[in-house]
C-alpha cells in the first residue's frame, strides 16, 4: 500500500473525530441549556411554594385568643413540604370558643388547598352562624366536602381527620368531637386519659353522624391534641416510629410543665428522635392548660 492510502485513512479518522467532537460540544451546550431551564423551573416552583406557605401560615390562629379563655396555650405546626394538610383552628364567638386540629388528606399543595378550604368553611360556620357545637361543625364540614369534592367520585378524594372542641364561657363546660382525632387529658395527678374518637373521617361519604363527647375538666391540668404525624415519625437508632407510648411517657415525665414549656419539650424530643431522617408526615399539636 502506498502512502496515499494511509493519508486517506488518517484524514477519515480525523474527520470522524472532528464530527464527534462537534456533536459532543453541541450535546453539552444543549444539556447546559436544559439544566438552566430546570434550575429556573425549580426556582419558580420553590418561590411559589414559599408564597403559598406564607398564605397558609397567615390562616393560623392567634394563640392569645385561647389564652383569654384558659390559663395557658401553645401550638406547633410543621408541614412536610412547606405547605400541607395540618392546621390549628381557633374561633371565638358570643358563646365561647371553638378550637382544634385538622389533618387533611395527602401532602403538599393538594393537601394545603383542601386544608385551607376546610379552615375557611369552619370560620364561616362558627362566625356568621355562630355555631359553637363541635358535632354540628364536623357534620356540616363533612356534608360540604362530600357535596363539593366527592359527589362524582367512586371513592372520596377529599377527606380530613381531626378533633374540635367547644368551650362555653357561660358555664365553663367543654365538649369535643373527634374524626379519628388524637389527644390526651392530663389530670392534676399526672394520670393520662386518652380521648375517645370516631372511626369516621370527614368527607368519607359515610352516613354515620359525628357525636359530641363531654369532657370533665374539674380535675384536669392540661389537654393535648395532635395529628398522627407526631407519633408516626420514623427515627431513633433503629428507625422506628416515635409512637403513642413514647409520647405518653414523655408527657407523664413532664406533666407539671406549663403549655409553653411542654410544647418546647415535645419539639426538642421529636426533632432529636427524627435527627437526619426525612420528615414522614405533616405534624401539628395543640396544648391547653386549664
Residue 70 has what pLDDT?
97
Distances (CA, A) of 215 to 22, 120, 134, 152, 194: 77, 26, 12, 38, 11
Residues 6+ apart with CB under 8 A from 31: none
Task: Using the structure block, give the residue that is written with the C-alpha cell 387533611.
Answer: 104
User: Own/partner pairs for 90-93, CB < 8 Å, 24+ apart?
Assistant: 90/61, 90/62, 90/63, 90/65, 90/66, 91/61, 91/65, 91/122, 91/123, 91/126, 91/127, 92/65, 92/68, 93/126, 93/127, 93/130, 93/132
Cα dihedral sign, 41-277-107-138: negative
Exposure string (b/e) for 152-191, b if CB count within 10 Å is 16 or more?
eeeebebbbbbbbbbbeeeeeebbbbbbbbbbbbbbeeee
Residue 87 has what pLDDT?
96
Give the three cell numbers for residue 45.
416552583
How many helices (H) and strands (E) are present in the chain, helices listed first?
Answer: 7, 12
- Are 222 and 262 in contact, with CB atoms under 8 Å apart? yes
- Kind plus residue range of the DSSP H or E element containing 29: helix 3-58
pTM of the model: 0.84
Per-residue pLDDT of the chain (290 residues; tens, 9 = 90+): 577 766 677 777 777 777 777 877 777 788 778 787 777 777 777 778 888 889 899 999 999 999 999 999 999 999 999 999 999 999 998 889 999 999 998 889 999 999 999 999 898 888 777 678 899 999 999 988 888 887 766 667 789 999 999 999 989 999 999 999 999 999 999 999 999 988 899 988 788 899 999 999 999 999 999 999 999 999 999 999 999 999 999 999 999 999 999 999 999 999 999 999 999 999 999 999 99
Amino acid at each position: 500500500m502506498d502512502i496515499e492510502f494511509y493519508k486517506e485513512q488518517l484524514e477519515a479518522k480525523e474527520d470522524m473525530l472532528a464530527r464527534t467532537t462537534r456533536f459532543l460540544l453541541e450535546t453539552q451546550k444543549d444539556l447546559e441549556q436544559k439544566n438552566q431551564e430546570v434550575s429556573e423551573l425549580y426556582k419558580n416552583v420553590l418561590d411559589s411554594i414559599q408564597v403559598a406557605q406564607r398564605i397558609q401560615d397567615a390562616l393560623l390562629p392567634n394563640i392569645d385568643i385561647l389564652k383569654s379563655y384558659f390559663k395557658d396555650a401553645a401550638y406547633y405546626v410543621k408541614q412536610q413540604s412547606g405547605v400541607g394538610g395540618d392546621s390549628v383552628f381557633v374561633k371565638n364567638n358570643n358563646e365561647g370558643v371553638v378550637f382544634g386540629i385538622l389533618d387533611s388528606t395527602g401532602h403538599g399543595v393538594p393537601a394545603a388547598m383542601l386544608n385551607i378550604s376546610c379552615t375557611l368553611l369552619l370560620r364561616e360556620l362558627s362566625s356568621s352562624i355562630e355555631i359553637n357545637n363541635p358535632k354540628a361543625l364536623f357534620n356540616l364540614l363533612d356534608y360540604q366536602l362530600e357535596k363539593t369534592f366527592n359527589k362524582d367520585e367512586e371513592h372520596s378524594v377529599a377527606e380530613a381527620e381531626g378533633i374540635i372542641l367547644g368551650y362555653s364561657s357561660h358555664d365553663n363546660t367543654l365538649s369535643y368531637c373527634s374524626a379519628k382525632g388524637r389527644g390526651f387529658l392530663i389530670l392534676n395527678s399526672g394520670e393520662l386519659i386518652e380521648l375517645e374518637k370516631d372511626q369516621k373521617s370527614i368527607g368519607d361519604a359515610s352516613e354515620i353522624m359525628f357525636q359530641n363527647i363531654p369532657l370533665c375538666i374539674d380535675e384536669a391540668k392540661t389537654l393535648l391534641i395532635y395529628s398522627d404525624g407526631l407519633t408516626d415519625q420514623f427515627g431513633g437508632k433503629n428507625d422506628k416510629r416515635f409512637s403513642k407510648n413514647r409520647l405518653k411517657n414523655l408527657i407523664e415525665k413532664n406533666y407539671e410543665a406549663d403549655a409553653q414549656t411542654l410544647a418546647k419539650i415535645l419539639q426538642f424530643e421529636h426533632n432529636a428522635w427524627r435527627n437526619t431522617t426525612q420528615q414522614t408526615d405533616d405534624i401539628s399539636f395543640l396544648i391547653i392548660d386549664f
